[in-house]
Amino acid sequence: MDQLDTGEHKQCFSVELVEVVDQTTARLLGGVWPDSLDKLKEIRLGCEGSGRGTVAAITLEIKPLGIRFIPIGSLRGLGQVRVHNDWKAVLRRHVEDGKEFTYFGDE
């Protein structure tokens, strides 16, 4: 645990692949993907139905540990969000440098 506390946690993870996968394709991946997507849909419908916005998720597949869905909720006004072309490179660099990834823009 000391390794994580000293900021050297960047040595624990590396990024092999970063891609956007639509839900139809993700369901074909098998395992816990279909059930997890169903749960995400349930959360999304609940949030939208109560007026809190929509929900998206980032999914991490960490071999051999498994899959982790990280829902991001209360999303509103997404039409104004600018998607930066370099988001994959920024994500990869932040993970490998042990930084928090808090935005999808140019550095």
Is 71 in a helix, a strand, or coil?
Answer: strand
Q: CA neighbours within 13 Å on the CB side: how many for 92?
A: 9
The answer, yes or no, to whether residue 35 has pLDDT greater than 60, is yes
Is 59 in a helix, a strand, or coil?
Answer: strand
The answer, yes or no, to whether residue 28 has pLDDT greater than 90, is yes
Sequence ranges of the domains in the chain? 2-97
Report the DSSP beta bridge partners of residue 91.
none
d(CA 68, CA 99): 19
The answer, yes or no, to whether residue 54 has pLDDT greater than 90, is no
Whether 68 contacts 60, CB under 8 Å = yes
The answer, yes or no, to whether residue 11 has pLDDT greater than 70, is no
Whether 44 contacts 55, CB under 8 Å = yes
